[in-house]
Amino acid sequence: MNKIDFLNELYHYIRVLPRDKQNKIMNEYREYFKKGEKSGKTENQICMELGSPYNCARHFLGDTPPEKVKPMKNNKSFWTVAFFWNVFQAFFAIPITLGLFIAVVIMIVAYSFIVPAIGSVAFLVFAVASTSTVFCLGVITLLWTIFQIKECVDRMNKGE
């Protein structure tokens, strides 16, 4: 677990408290992370020292009814929706990325015959560079989507 995950989960549990108390608790834990990082500890080590966010929150919740503070376990529906959203994005990213790749190849081949005839190397460089840039963004989007799909599957399997 890293700092952001820890703090997000902690906030999930203390959200039933008044806003000023939430802010005080969150600032306290942020400071703890800052001090730990300054002393050379990793975020993971600090999280291990603190224990689970649920147990940390229970310390502040006191007599709050347990039904109001449920652990973030049965959030499988969220990760299922996120999974399908990312698959949907991937189906759009794949054809766009492949189309841009084909466009780059066609431009390189076509303009290699046209450029000698019209003598405009600058146009070829601009056309290929701009299309290649968009293609690279498509590849990055596709890779990010695949990473997100993997993350969703992992979290669904963990039952979070």
Q: What whole-number distance in Å separates Cα of residue 99 and Cα of residue 57? A: 50
Band (96; pLDDT cuts 50, 70, 90):
confident
Q: What whole-number distance in Å separates Cα of residue 27 and Cα of residue 7? A: 10
Rounded mean pLDDT of 91-116? 74
Q: Is the pLDDT of residue 28 over 90?
A: yes
The two structure tokens encoding residue 116: 């000698």
| Among 51-55, 93-97, 135-139, the range of highest mean pLDDT | 51-55
Contact 45, 33 (CB under 8 A): no
Rounded mean pLDDT of 122-129? 72
Phi-psi region of 120 (alpha: psi -120 to 50; beta: other; left: phi over 0): beta
Rounded mean pLDDT of 27-40? 92
